[in-house]
């Protein structure tokens, strides 16, 4: 019977590689072939997901419902307790049902410490510091926390959006420091998530994915794993390319939104409606202008382009300019509110929406929240804050939309939540309107 090594040699023409190098390649291939069949999502597979936020928790519960034995790890004991009770700490359609069913089936449990597993997924935050430099301390801490329990043959995947080189220089390095040989003892890869908040559970399965290994063997093993539960196509590259793909995607969107935001300010100065301009321009077969807003928020688009700028400050001119345009938009909105407020004797401002975009409860990097905070700080008027996706806010008393509309003389639309789309135009009669989302225009 052919051994694994025989099979590898039989399948490939003999190379002119030095004997040592060739042996190591054969060893890697052999390791790969031993692992291939094991990385299918199913009852045999033990998965440890580090970081139970917007990406980690949906991923952990999805794999739990596919039959994997999943341990979710988080530094917050409150989050761990909530999940172990089958409940969730974030809002996302259907996530509550999925977590509940995975926990009740005994397929998902949360813990504050990592356990031994076949697959590790690191999904921790990678914010930017005040100086716009990436803060990778949580990736470092996550890699360091799993290193002592990672056994031979495991697959370790970084999913957090990261600067190019992070998978090699942080994750692989931590595992190597624990004595593991990358590509032989342990397989290491980068696989960015691409899900859109509000559609996470659908997009986790349906979207195409890119997987980049530290070495070809790791790419192959990681491909195998994702192909076992993703319906979209999974493309294999090296880890640095995969890291850049993720940054390129979000920077592309940021640049395009910046174009819409800049256009909105240019149109306002020219006295034309940007919404009408965009609607008509988009009838051109090759034009697809995005929507202006009060600025760009969320933990991705408003952050990730800085990773490119930080790595190439001289080269990334357009990407930096887009960030600056989008960051400046909230100040422009505030100025417009002040101009309106100056026109009424006692400004009462209905502020519609606080979250970073429509139909989510997420306040991270929210331009709407920044605008309302600044209006409050500058005492521009009485603020009636409406946010249907939050029960309360520590700084602002939230009021129902009907009450805000009946009392306000200025209406400031900041988020295009579904309930706001149902507001009848008569409710805005004789009020000054600043509609940053084009809801009523
Ligand atoms: N926005 C506009 N105008 C638009 C579109 C968006 O002002 O036409 C604003 C939104 O209001 C929001 C911000 O941009 O403040 C970002 O929202 P988004 O819906 O564009 O994106 P995110 O941050 O929810 O998710 C993005 C997605 N990336 C891309 O579309 C390239 C998602 O696929 C990624 O998985 C996610 O970032 C991430 O985690 O990186």
**Which residue has a Cα nearest atom 38 of ligand 1?**
300
Q: Is 97 exposed, middle or buried (0-12, 13-18, 19+ CB in 10 A)?
A: middle
Fold matches, 17-232 and 274-435: yes
Q: Nearest Cα to 297, choosing from 382, 368, 203? A: 368
Q: Nearest Cα to 154, choosing from 181, 184, 118? A: 118
Round to whole Å and give the CA distance between 157 and 146.
Answer: 12
As given in the structure block, the two tokens for residue 334 are: 């505030």
- Bridge partners (DSSP) listed for residue 121: 49, 157
Q: Are 109 and 48 in contact (CB under 8 A)?
A: no
**Which residue has a Cα nearest atom 40 of ligand 1?**
300
* 298 C-beta closer than 6 A to ligand 1: yes
317 CB-near residues (< 8 Å, 6+ apart): none
As given in the structure block, the two tokens for residue 268 are: 């306002």
- Specify the ligand 1 atom closest to the Cα of 54: 39
* 114 C-beta closer than 6 A to ligand 1: no
Would you list the DSSP string of 14-38?
Answer: PP---HHHHHHHHHHHHHHHHHHTT
Which stretches of the chain score pLDDT less than 50? Answer: 1-16
Q: What pLDDT, on a 0 to 100 scale, did the predictor assign at position 34?
A: 55
Going from the Cα of 301 to the center of ligand 1, the distance in angstroms, rounded, reads 6
Going from the Cα of 132 to the center of ligand 1, the distance in angstroms, rounded, reads 19
Round to whole Å and give the CA distance between 170 and 175.
Answer: 9
209-213 and 186-190 beta bridge pairing: antiparallel
Catalytic residue among 28, 246, 329, 357: 246
* 361 C-beta closer than 6 A to ligand 1: no
As given in the structure block, the two tokens for residue 39 are: 């990385």
* 249 C-beta closer than 6 A to ligand 1: yes
- Bridge partners (DSSP) listed for residue 190: 158, 212
Q: Which residue among 243, 298, 415 has the greatest number of ligand 1 atoms within 8 angstroms of its CB, and so is best to mutate?
A: 298
Residue 33 backbone dihedrals phi, psi, to 5 degrees: -65, -35
Going from the Cα of 429 to the center of ligand 1, the distance in angstroms, rounded, reads 32
Round to whole Å and give the CA distance between 251 and 400.
Answer: 36
Q: Are 312 and 409 in contact (CB under 8 A)?
A: no
Q: Residues 330, 332, 334, 337: what is their CA dihedral angle, to the nearest 10 degrees? A: -130
Q: Which residue among 200, 208, 253, 292 has the greatest number of ligand 1 atoms within 8 angstroms of its CB, and so is best to mutate?
A: 253
Tens-digit pLDDT profile for residues 15-65: 445 666 667 676 666 665 555 556 777 778 999 999 999 999 999 999 999
Q: Which residue among 301, 355, 358 has the greatest number of ligand 1 atoms within 8 angstroms of its CB, and so is best to mutate?
A: 301
The answer to whether the pTM exceeds 0.85 is yes
Q: Domain 17-232 classified CATH 3.40.50.300?
A: no
Residue 333's alpha-carbon distances to 79, 268, 391, in angstroms, are 36, 11, 26
300 is known as an active-site residue: yes
Q: Which residues of 29-63 are buried (b: 16+ CB within 10 A; e: fewer)?
A: bbbbeebeebbbbeeebebbbbbbbbbbbbbbbbb
Q: Are 368 and 360 in contact (CB under 8 A)?
A: no
* 204 C-beta closer than 6 A to ligand 1: no
Catalytic residue among 48, 68, 191, 300: 300
* 54 C-beta closer than 6 A to ligand 1: no
- Specify the ligand 1 atom closest to the Cα of 207: 33
As given in the structure block, the two tokens for residue 160 are: 């957090």
Q: What pLDDT, on a 0 to 100 scale, did the predictor assign at position 198?
A: 85
206 CB-near residues (< 8 Å, 6+ apart): 231, 232
Q: Which residue has the tokens 């397989």?
A: 187
Going from the Cα of 229 to the center of ligand 1, the distance in angstroms, rounded, reads 25
Where along the chain do its domains lie? 17-232, 274-435
432-435 and 154-158 beta bridge pairing: unpaired
Would you list the DSSP string of 261-312?
Answer: HHHHHHHHHHT--HHHHHHHHTTSTT-------S---SSSTTTHHHHHHHH-
When computed from its CA atoms, the radius of gyration of the chain, rounded to whole angstroms, is 25
Q: Are 348 and 399 in contact (CB under 8 A)?
A: no
Residue 406's alpha-carbon distances to 200, 342, 384, in angstroms, are 36, 20, 10
- Bridge partners (DSSP) listed for residue 349: 383, 410
Going from the Cα of 375 to the center of ligand 1, the distance in angstroms, rounded, reads 25
Q: Are 136 and 158 in contact (CB under 8 A)?
A: no
Q: Could you name the CATH architecture of 274-435? A: 3-Layer(aba) Sandwich (3.40)
Going from the Cα of 71 to the center of ligand 1, the distance in angstroms, rounded, reads 29
């Amino acid at each position: 019977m052919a051994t694994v090594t025989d099979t590898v040699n039989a399948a490939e023409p003999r190379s002119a590689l030095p004997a040592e190098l060739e042996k190591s390649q054969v060893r890697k291939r052999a390791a790969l072939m031993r692992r291939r069949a094991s990385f299918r999502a199913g009852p045999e597979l033990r998965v440890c997901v580090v970081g139970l936020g917007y990406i980690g928790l949906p991923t952990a519960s999805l794999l739990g419902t596919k039959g994997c034995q999943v341990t979710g790890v988080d530094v917050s004991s409150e989050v761990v307790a909530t999940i172990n009770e089958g409940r969730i700490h974030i809002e996302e359609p259907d996530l509550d049902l999925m977590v509940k069913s995975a926990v009740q089936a005994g397929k998902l449990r949360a813990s504050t410490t990592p356990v031994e597993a076949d697959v590790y997924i690191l999904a921790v935050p990678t914010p930017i510091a005040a100086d716009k430099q990436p803060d990778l301390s949580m990736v470092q801490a996550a890699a360091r926390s799993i290193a002592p329990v990672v056994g031979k043959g495991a697959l370790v995947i970084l999913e957090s959006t990261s600067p190019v080189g992070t998978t090699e220089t942080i994750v692989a390095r931590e595992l190597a420091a624990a004595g593991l040989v990358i590509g032989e003892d342990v397989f290491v890869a980068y696989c960015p998530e691409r899900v859109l908040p509000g559609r996470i559970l659908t997009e986790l399965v349906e979207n195409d994915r890119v997987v980049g290994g530290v070495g070809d063997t790791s790419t192959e093993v990681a491909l195998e794993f994702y192909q076992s539960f993703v319906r979209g196509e999974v493309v294999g590259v090296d880890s640095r390319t995969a890291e850049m793909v993720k940054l390129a995607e979000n920077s592309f969107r940021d640049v395009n939104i910046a174009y819409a935001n800049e256009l909105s300010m240019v149109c306002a100065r020219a006295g034309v409606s940007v919404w009408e301009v965009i609607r008509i321009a988009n009838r051109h077969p090759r034009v697809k202008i995005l929507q202006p807003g009060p600025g760009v928020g969320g933990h991705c688009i408003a952050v990730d382009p800085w990773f490119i700028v930080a790595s190439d400050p001289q080269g990334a001119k357009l990407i930096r300019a887009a960030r600056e345009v989008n960051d400046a938009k909230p100040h422009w909105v505030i100025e417009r509110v002040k101009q309106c407020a100056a026109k009424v004797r006692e400004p009462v401002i209905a502020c519609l929406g606080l979250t970073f975009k429509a139909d989510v409860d997420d306040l991270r990097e929210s331009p709407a929240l920044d605008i309302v905070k600044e209006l409050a700080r500058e005492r521009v008027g009485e603020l009636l804050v409406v946010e249907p996706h939050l029960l309360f806010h520590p700084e602002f008393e939230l009021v129902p939309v009907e009450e805000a509309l009946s009392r306000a003389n200025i209406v400031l639309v900041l988020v295009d939540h579904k309930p706001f789309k149902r507001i009848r135009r008569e409710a805005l009669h004789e009020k000054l309107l600043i509609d940053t989302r084009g809801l009523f225009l």
